Amino acid sequence: MNNLLEVRNLYKSIKGKEILRGVSFNLEKGKVLGIMGPNGQGKTTLLNVIEGFLRIDNGEIKLDGSNIGYVTKGEISYLQDINIFHRSMRIRDAISLYSDFFKDFDKDKMDSYLEFMNLDRDSKIKDLSKGMMEKFNLSLTLSRKAKLFLLDEPISGVDPVSREKILDAILENLSEDSSMIITTHYIGELERIFDEVLFLGDGKVIESGDAEELREKYSASIDEIYRKIFAE
């Protein structure tokens, strides 16, 4: 087994509230992990501690054998559900700024994503719809040569046709040496790209494993498993 990411007995509290409670899982190289659960269950907090934005209270996180820290930050590409650019900037200026921060940014790859996503370099950030902004931010995130990609709700604001394009872009981006974690509420549309799934509830892992094995175990789709678990 060739694990890229190892999470062991992870605990995290924020303002006195325990958000993550003993979370453990592995993610192999070349695999896509879908993390699912209702709002407020700790999904985004989990991504933030993996990225290194938040310090863990207890537990251990290793990326390719190294503890999460300053070095690993440069090996993780994180799509957050926020806009980090000034609204007056044009797309081309935002790309230039982003590339200055990340040495592994591939401008040629970004060019191909701009064309694929039908994004105009001269458009201003303030004029982009929520869906267009999501496509732009995803393009930036996927244009890095990172070991681990973290995508927090990557298709929440885009139309069904654009979702298919985004799924295709995600699948084309993954290499044998990189892995990806996706949090989502659009399970039915995304589950086809998941190799592994993890259901997070009340800060704990309720169920996890190989996606196909779980389908066989429950005789149901991942979406149906989700509904069964969180309806009980």
The domains of the chain are located at 3-231
Question: Contacts from 18-22 at CB under 8 Å and sequence distance 24+?
Answer: 18/203, 19/45, 19/203, 20/45, 20/46, 20/49, 20/203, 21/202, 21/203, 21/204, 22/59, 22/204
The confidence score (pLDDT) of residue 157 equals 67
Per-residue pLDDT tens over the stretch 78-87: 998 777 888 8
Percent with pLDDT over 70 in the chain? 98
**pLDDT range class, residue 146, cuts 50, 70, 90:** very high
- Quick check: 187 pLDDT over 90? no
Per-residue pLDDT tens over the stretch 39-50: 888 999 999 999
Decide yes or no: CATH 3.20.10.10 for domain 3-231. no
- Quick check: 155 pLDDT over 80? no
Average pLDDT, the chain: 90
Overall average pLDDT of the 182-200 stretch:
89
pTM score of the predicted model = 0.93
- Quick check: 11 pLDDT over 70? yes
